[in-house]
Structure 1
Amino acid sequence: MANSSQVFRFTLGAYFDTGPLRWLYFLLVLCVYVLIVLSNLLLIAVICLNRTLHEPMYVFLCSLFVNELYGSAALYPFLLSQIPQDVHEVSYFLCLVQIFAIYTYGSVEFWNLAVISYDRYMAVCSPLQYKTHMSRRRVTFCVVLIWLPPFVAVFITTVLTSSLTFCGSLIDAVYCDNYGIIKLSCFDTTVNNLYELVAATVTVICPVCVIVFTYVNIFKVCFRGSKQSRQKAASTCTPHICSLVNGAFGAFFFIIQTRFEMSHWPRVLIIILVLYNLLCQPLFNPLMYGLNLSKLKVACQNVLSKNNKILAMV
């Protein structure tokens, strides 16, 4: 059996020497992070302050934008601190915190998209009963459903990982990945692997099943309905479908990178694929929903125009 020891710091092995270009990458990541924070904060503020947007769909969208800020905060400050350094290390405790934050972000993302799918299913398939069915109590339950199961599932995952003893400290990643840490364990990790399957079922497979079920029924109704009803359904469902596809690509890239050997791939490409979900999704969602949902778009334009008038007066 390999020698085991208490690990206090992990080394992140996916970084490579970029020389003077590191500051260019630093500025690019900083600009993306600022855009993510500003765009998501704008939409959260617009939804919270505008009474006409206090509807179930916009409540769920607000939850989605809050999650984008949460997931971004788990990665971008960390990247900005790592890029300028020559030695890329992270403490054991911070590594566990980052695993918890990033995995809960991904899980909440799936549940949030599933709840939005359910909301669109009720709006399209049962429009007359929509307001009655999507009561304040039901909306509150849905918001709790979005956040609680992922946090409980990932918390248990993190506790199981923290109980492991390690024979190494090199993680071939740019941030802490649970599977990468489990591979460093000296002892049997069957319990961890089995629980990951259970957690994946709760946090990924269940919401995906909800999404598939709801959209199959939405498409059935659309095909049977009039041209006007199809256009109306398409206008509200298109941003959500695009967000689903983008999120699915990000999850697929992450699974491919962590589970399969990709050493023969260009290092830059691997890093981009790994970061895709946390690079693109938090920026893609506010732009997609903000530009395509007419009520939200008008509300944002009103807020921005008022701010421009105030600045002009000053």
Structure 2
Amino acid sequence: MENNSEVVFVLQGLNDSLTNRQMYFAVALMSYLFTIFVNLTLIVTVCLERTLHEPIYIFLCNLCFNGICGASSFYPKLLHDLLSDSNVITYAGCLTQMFVVYYYIFCEFTSLTIMAYDRYLAICKPLQYPMLMPVQRVVLLLLLTWCFSLLETIIGVILTTRLPLCRRHINRILCTNWEVVKLSCANTTSSNIYGIVLIFTHTSQTGLILVSYYHLVRASLRLASNRRKFIQTCVPHLATLLIFVSSQVFDSIYSRYGGGTLQVLQNLLAAELLVVPPLINPIIYGINLHQIRARIILNFSYKPGS
């Protein structure tokens, strides 16, 4: 086949949606705008309110910013394709979308791991918490999140770019690493091994989260004040984690075994990871965290001169 840089992929995910594209465009546009709105609302609220300049809220802002990046890796291309007669993407465009999508996924999981560690320190070691989680450590953990996720993404994309391609039809509405690897006509052992390494890495992160929650549950059973903290900050974190992990599992299962399912179902499973967590996360936290909820209500209910 031609040089990879000259390849133009055909995205076949919208082939069965030709007659309803205007409706899908309107729904997708509203969903994207609302996702941006709720995430920016939470970020701006935390940034403007000095009483919210605490580690948990800073980590939450990072989660929301990452959600905006994840949604923006998906919606603009989808909206363009819904208005276009040909759903194609260049090799460079595919790699760019793939890079942002996987950076979002890795950053999301690492962020949730660090947030679990932060809640463990806040609830299980409340007296030492200010000393254990100073501003310098918060910045260091954020840098660790971004750099570690960037390293994971770069390695995966480089391994994919080394593969020669024999086909150019992608049966999805977006580019993902596994779908491009399946188009290769060469040995993909290196990509498969790296996939196993990623599974081991994120399984280890899952183990850290489970250990943190084991101690959190024990601490919450001992004191009523710990139970309140657990309900206010850990329950939304746990809900966010479950939504993200379930979305990732569905996406992985579909990518490998979903070729024979209905196209609409395929599209829903492919998009869930980039649609549901970025939209739901700020809503869950905005409802459950009293400080954020009260400040948002105050900002939107304020009347000049009243």
**TM-score normalised according to structure 2 size:** 0.95
- Among 266, 279, 285, the alignment partner of 1:283 is 279
Specify the alignment match of 1:266 in structure 2.
262
The one-letter code sitting in structure 2 at the alignment partner of 1:60 is F
The one-letter code sitting in structure 2 at the alignment partner of 1:245 is L
- Alignment partners' CA distance in 2, 1:246 and 1:237: 14
Specify the alignment match of 2:210 in structure 1.
212
- Alignment partners' CA distance in 2, 1:231 and 1:60: 20
Contiguous gaps of at least 5 residues in structure 1:
none
Specify the alignment match of 1:29 in structure 2.
28
Are 2:289 and 1:293 aligned?
A: yes
- Alignment partners' CA distance in 1, 2:15 and 2:211: 44
- Alignment partners' CA distance in 1, 2:213 and 2:18: 48
Please say if residues 171 and 180 of structure 1, whose CA atoms lie closer than 8 Å, have aligned partners that are also in contact. yes
The more displaced of 185-194 and 95-104 is: 185-194
Are 2:115 and 1:123 aligned?
A: no
Specify the alignment match of 2:231 in structure 1.
234
| 76 and 261 in structure 1: CA distance in 2 versus 1, 3 angstrom threshold | closer
| 19 and 174 in structure 1: CA distance in 2 versus 1, 3 angstrom threshold | closer
Deviations along 1:160-184, one digit per CA (max 9) or x if unpaired, are 2112111110111110011111111
Where 2:10 maps in the other structure, the secondary structure is strand
Q: Percent identity?
A: 33
The one-letter code sitting in structure 1 at the alignment partner of 2:105 is G
Where 2:267 maps in the other structure, the secondary structure is helix
Please say if residues 107 and 145 of structure 2, whose CA atoms lie closer than 8 Å, have aligned partners that are also in contact. yes
- Alignment partners' CA distance in 1, 2:41 and 2:153: 29
- 1:1-314 alignment to 2 at 5 Å? 4-7=1-4, 8-202=7-201, 204-223=202-221, 225-263=222-260, 265-306=261-302, 309-310=303-304
Deviations along 1:91-135, one digit per CA (max 9) or x if unpaired, are 000000000000010110001111111111111111111111101
The more displaced of 226-235 and 75-84 is: 226-235
1:261 to partner: Cα distance: 4.2
Where 1:11 maps in the other structure, the secondary structure is strand
Where 1:174 maps in the other structure, the secondary structure is coil
**TM-score normalised according to structure 1 size:** 0.92
Where 1:176 maps in the other structure, the secondary structure is coil
The more displaced of 137-146 and 192-201 is: 192-201
Deviations along 1:30-51, one digit per CA (max 9) or x if unpaired, are 0000001111111111111111
Please say if residues 63 and 108 of structure 2, whose CA atoms lie closer than 8 Å, have aligned partners that are also in contact. yes
4+ runs deviating over 4 angstroms = none
| 82 and 112 in structure 1: CA distance in 2 versus 1, 3 angstrom threshold | same
- Alignment partners' CA distance in 2, 1:266 and 1:171: 15
State the aligned residue count.
304
Where 2:73 maps in the other structure, the secondary structure is helix
Where 2:172 maps in the other structure, the secondary structure is coil
- Alignment partners' CA distance in 2, 1:229 and 1:198: 37
Please say if residues 154 and 199 of structure 1, whose CA atoms lie closer than 8 Å, have aligned partners that are also in contact. no
Contiguous gaps of at least 5 residues in structure 2:
none
Please say if residues 172 and 266 of structure 2, whose CA atoms lie closer than 8 Å, have aligned partners that are also in contact. no
- Alignment partners' CA distance in 2, 1:115 and 1:26: 36
- Alignment partners' CA distance in 2, 1:11 and 1:257: 19
RMSD of equivalent CA atoms: 1.6
Please say if residues 240 and 281 of structure 2, whose CA atoms lie closer than 8 Å, have aligned partners that are also in contact. yes
